[in-house]
Amino acid sequence: MNIQFGSIKYQYIGLFLLAILLSFIGLFVKNDYYLNIFVLIGIQAIAVLGLSLLMGYAGQVSLGHAAFYGLGAYASGILTLHYGFNPYLAMLCGIAISAVMALIVGLPALRLKGHYLAMATLGFGIIINICFKEMASLTGGPSGLVGIPMLKLFNFTFDTSISYFCLVWAVFIILMLLSIHLVNSPFGRAFRALGSNEAAAQAMGVNTHIAKLIVFIISAIYASLAGSLYAHFVTFISPASFGFICSIKMVTMVAIGGMGTLWGALLGTSILVSLPEFLTVFSDYDVLVYGLILIVVMIFMPEGIIQGSLKLFRRFRYKETNV
């Protein structure tokens, strides 16, 4: 499998094209409903980008990433609502909490492999979600927190869809840039080596346990940041948004887009977040179609849509030149 989708130069061109595409969307989409979907895609893509580093590059599964997403959202919500924190400070606290949590859980969990790691992270995610539900005095219980303040920068409030759209995608592009450089840094090469063959990486002198732990913490930070952005955007959070299903959706977004490409994370998120909008034609059957799409993509394109369609394209061209 070719892990890299191109050199850094191509990645920059990709980012540039993405920025142009986004400015077109920002300029021409005037309907707030559609803009909100793009905002949600951006928020989710930030979290999925982190998970993509963990799953696609370091080769470690996490079925509990919604916990970090939720920790970020709840830290922002609780600290700003109950304790009057500055939203940015609350966001940083959320990141710190998620990072410490990732360290505590990751330390024993990342010694496990395959199914066992999947199960440990799954259990962790569910426990955190139950805590969101049951610590009602802090979290508002199952009905959640209402009235989380909007983000402000000096005198400007991000209260319109278009302003939040710009904010979220600016954050995404910065993180994408960071991730591209991270993946191509010496440490990035270390955890990519770990992802393709752990024993070989160890033999080359990579401390695989530390490397896994660091990537796990980085991905938790991304998820937490995304959670905070989500809380300040919708201004209402409840435990249902951060449950097992949410973790599963994040993993699916990584896998559908394609493991081992950062762009896959963006593609997978865009597809899966916007899919229910297209499926409204099917009204009640949308869940069903969603399930079917997951199955079909995973059976026929186990490497994800990007690599899968490239392969199909190559096969097609190969046939044509042969005729």
- The nearest distance, CB 270 to another protein, in angstroms, is 18
Residue 113 touches another protein, criterion: CB under 8 A: yes
Q: Classify residue 229 as exposed, middle or buried by CB count within 10 Å of its CB (0-12, 13-18, 19+).
A: buried
Residue 115 touches another protein, criterion: CB under 8 A: yes
Q: What is the largest CA-CA distance in the chain?
A: 71
Give the single-character DSSP code of 272. H
Contact letters (x/-) for another protein, 63-92, by CB under 8 A? x-----------------------------
Q: Find the binding residues for another protein in span 253-292 (CB under 8 A).
A: 255, 259, 284-285, 287-292
Stretch that binds another protein, among 4-12, 87-95, 120-128, 312-320 (CB under 8 A): 120-128
Three-class secondary structure of residue 310 per DSSP: helix
Residue 112 touches another protein, criterion: CB under 8 A: yes
Amino acid at 103: L
- The nearest distance, CB 245 to another protein, in angstroms, is 8
Q: Could you tell me how many residues of this chain bind another protein (CB under 8 A)?
A: 42
Q: Find the binding residues for another protein in span 232-251 (CB under 8 A).
A: 244, 248, 251
> Cβ distance 229 to 43 under 8 Å?
yes
Q: Classify residue 33 as exposed, middle or buried by CB count within 10 Å of its CB (0-12, 13-18, 19+).
A: exposed
Quick one: 20 or 287, whose CB is closer to another protein? 287
- Total residues found in the chain within this entry: 323
Among 160, 298, 311, 317, binds another protein (CB under 8 A): 298
- Between CA 198 and CA 75 the distance in angstroms is 35
Residue 108 touches another protein, criterion: CB under 8 A: yes
Quick one: 91 or 297, whose CB is closer to another protein? 297
Sites of contact with another protein (CB under 8 A): 55, 61, 63, 108-109, 112-116, 118-120, 122-124, 126-127, 130-131, 133-134, 244, 248, 251-252, 255, 259, 284-285, 287-295, 298-299, 302
